[in-house]
Structure 1
Amino acid sequence: MVELDVETERRDCVTFVAATVQNASDVARRVTLRTDCRPLWPPRRQGVPAAGWDEGGVTLTVPAGRTTGVGFATPVAPDEPVLAVQETVPVAGEEAHTEPTPEHVVRALGDPTPPADAVPVAAENETATAEGGRR
């Protein structure tokens, strides 16, 4: 059995939704949560929506006897229920792990921004150009 506890907080024209999903069964469950809030602003990792999120909600695996937290934001003031369990499916062993998607790969690679020390400063480039190209 899966239980969902949802709390919302409205601040500065944004609704923050925090939820806990408790799996009281003795097997892991893949749980799909859906919301009618549009637009939905899911948590992001490296600029990409966190694993399991799409435009309508999230799908996550909750281990047996455990609780997992999820949250998102939206600019709308939602009606009740804000978040609902659409589907729960028991999963076992390796089935609990999903195949990697392009989004998983992007998240795993990390931030592509070069370190600040590796980027030349504009003033140094201008000085080098004014002095004839090289120092």
Structure 2
Amino acid sequence: MHSTVDLSLTDGIVLVTVRLDNPAPVAQRVRLRNRLDGLVLPPRRGGVPEPGWDDTGFDGVVPADSTVALGYACPVDGDFSLDDDSDHSAVVAVTALGRASETDASVTATPDAAIRTLGAACPPADAVPVVTRDTALPNSKVDASSEDEEGDTESEERFEQNEGVDEKHDSVDSPHESTDDDVAAAIDDTLDDCGSSPTHSLDDDFVSFLAAAERRISLAERLDGASVREAASVLEHSSVRVATLDSLAADRARLRRLAERATKLADRAADADPDVDALRSIA
């Protein structure tokens, strides 16, 4: 068994890459042990470490006539440094344990193994249809009991479809340039109104859209300027995928359109003052 170790230091994180070459005609067991003081941050799938990894390193099998690359990260103190003469054995210990048995090579059914097969809970971005402002309004109402990820996506679509319903009314108003304060105020006021609705409606779709956008924006805020260690921790515990951050520009534009429209509607509501009592007698 031949091994090659590569080390790199980035923002207080040591990245350890080990290349294992097994030229033997039989599978070989191998053990990697981290010798640094920091925690082992192994590769993960579905939020759990890949098979063979634990808090101390890796135990696994290198197939016959094969090469396997392994890697992990480890946080270190600020005074830690690496140079070309750094002793790899002081960072990671690689031990060949001999021929692997059939039991070693088999995959054990565990809860973590099941979680790895599930993948991300969010639908891929490419699977979400692109809806334009000219799309016709849906006539059917949506089941209020649907609260899964697919339901959130459908709510966002319905909300976007209905953004253009009152454009013919808005077009007669004078242009209004909303400020950042207008944006925040309009969104907060609308959220309060929507939260009081006891049944599912377009208000619920609006709230679902805002909730999804807020999750994406919150993740972007936490990752903005974060170190490698901080970013790794944030992504590990976040339910939002990094790929969804590509929609931030669209979120920003849509939220500003919404705030501007809400401000116009509020102005129209303030200007409209019919004699309700007189109209009630007519009706």
Q: Same fold (TM over 0.5)?
A: yes
- Larger deviation: 101-110 or 63-72? 101-110
Check the 8 A contact 1:128/1:134 in 2, yes or no.
Answer: no
The code of the aligned residue for 1:23 comes to: N
2: CA distance, partners of 1:53 / 1:16:
15
- Displacement over 4 Å in runs of 4+: 92-95, 113-117, 132-135
- In the alignment, residue 42 of structure 1 is paired with which amino acid? P
Query: How many residue pairs align between the two structures?
Result: 132
Please state how far the C-alpha of 1:41 moved relative to its aligned partner: 0.7
Identify unmatched segments of 5+ residues in structure 1: none
Matching residue within 93, 97, 102 for 2:111: 102
Is 1:69 aligned with 2:72? no
Q: RMSD of aligned C-alpha atoms?
A: 3.0
Is the contact made by 1:46 and 1:106 (CA closer than 8 Å) also made in structure 2? yes
Partner of 2:197: 129
| Equivalent residues in 2 for 1:1-135, closer than 5 Å | 2-37=1-36, 38-76=38-76, 77=80, 80-81=88-89, 82-91=91-100, 95-113=104-122, 117-119=150-152, 120=155, 126=194, 129=197, 134=201
**5+ long unaligned stretches in structure 2:** 82-86, 125-148, 160-190, 203-283
Describe the superposition over 1:17-65 as per-residue Cα deviations: whole angstroms up to 9, x where unpaired.
1110111211011211111222111111111111110001011211111
Higher helix share: 2
- TM-score normalised over the length of structure 2: 0.41
Which moves more between the two structures, 53-62 or 73-82? 73-82
How does the TM-score come out when normalised to structure 1?
0.79
1:16·1:71 contact (CA, 8 Å) conserved in 2? yes
- Matched residues in 1 for 2:106 and 2:52: separation? 12
For the residues of structure 1 that align with 2:107 and 2:15, how far apart are their CA atoms?
28
Please say if residues 27 and 92 of structure 1, whose CA atoms lie closer than 8 Å, have aligned partners that are also in contact.
Answer: no
Alignment check: 8 A CA contact 2:35 2:93 kept: no
Tell me which protein shows more strand as a share of its residues.
Answer: 1
Amino acid at match of 1:26: P
Which deviates more, 69-78 or 11-20?
Answer: 69-78
Q: CA separation in 1, counterparts of 2:68 and 2:20? A: 5
